[in-house]
Amino acid sequence: MSNSEEFIPYQKRDQTEQEMLERSSSYYRLMNERRSIRMFSDRDVPFEVIEYIVKTAGTAPSGAHKQPWTFCIVRSTDLKAKIRQAAEEEEYKSYNGRMSETWLKDLEPFGTNWQKPFLETVPWIIVVFKRAYELEEGNKHQNYFVNESVGIACGMLISAIHHVGLATLTHTPSPMNFLTQLLERPENERPYLLLPVGYPADDAKVPDLARKGFDEIAVVYD
Ligand code: IYR
């Protein structure tokens, strides 16, 4: 017996194909303006905005609806300083020996280095943890498709940040186990992605990149 008798009606949106077309193109135009930002303003952002952004990420689909994510929202100046310090220590080692010559060459257009001052400039840092398993009454329950689920939630988080006119960067100082200690996360959680969130600096610059065209990213089977 399935549980489908207990399902509730889905409230679908009533719209014309024309409206759909307009929404599809305007959402694309909005998202195509998104850029990874490394130069931030220190201007404050209300917590309520961050809360809605994180709630939006929490609407992501997940394996068996286990919602295997924890969003750590950091405003504490002291914690941001500690995160910067630890991230820079790892990045210093990465840029000075751990990353291959090819990798460093591939990164040249982005002008990155081991220094991450933006981790202290931004009003907020969101650190996303994936929950590998849940502990229920002392029993371990593995979650399903954890990387896929958390990756999708992060995509939705990034879209929500951009939608409100804020900027972010998908930052992965690696290894990033230091985040487990600094944020005192339990054993079932693993750091997944670190996102500084704030206004872009007034004089923020981004590399002059182009995106692949539709024909380069899609194959249509008509
Ligand atoms: N984590 C480093 C290096 C880095 C790696 C890739 I792949 C990027 O696209 C960008 C940076 C850093 O943040 O500088």
- Predicted confidence at residue 104, as pLDDT, reads 97
Structural contact between residues 205 and 39, judged by C-beta atoms closer than 8 angstroms: yes
> From ligand 1's centre to the CA of 188, what distance in Å?
26
pLDDT at 3: 74
What residues line ligand 1, using a CB cutoff of 6 Å? Answer: 91, 107, 110, 112, 171-173
Confidence (pLDDT) at 5: 85
Residues whose CB is less than 8 angstroms from the CB of residue 172 and which lie 6 or more positions away in sequence, other chains included:
193, 194
**Section 72-84 average pLDDT:** 98
Closest protein CA for atom 10 of ligand 1: 107
| Residue bearing tokens 């991230």 | 87
Q: What are phi and psi of 162, to 5 degrees?
A: -65, -40
pTM of the entire structure?
Answer: 0.96
In the reported structure, the alpha carbon of residue 208 is separated from the centroid of ligand 1 by a whole-number distance in angstroms of 17
SS3 61: coil
Q: Please give the structure tokens belonging to residue 210.
A: 């182009």
Task: Write the pLDDT tens digit of every residue in 43-71.
Answer: 999 999 999 999 999 999 999 999 999 99
Question: Across all residues in the chain, what is the average pLDDT?
Answer: 97
Residues 130, 192 contacting (CB under 8 angstroms)? yes
One-letter identity of residue 170: T
DSSP secondary structure code for residue 6 in this structure: G
Distance CA 78, CA 101 (A): 35
Residue nearest to atom 6 of ligand 1 (CA): 107
Q: Looking at this protein, which amino acid is placed at residue 35?
A: R
Q: So where are the chain's domains?
A: 36-201
Give me the mean pLDDT over the 105-124 stretch. 97
Using the predicted structure, report yes or no on whether residue 95 has a pLDDT greater than 90.
Answer: yes
**pLDDT tens digits along 202-214:** 999 999 999 999 9
- Does domain 36-201 correspond to CATH entry 3.30.930.10? no
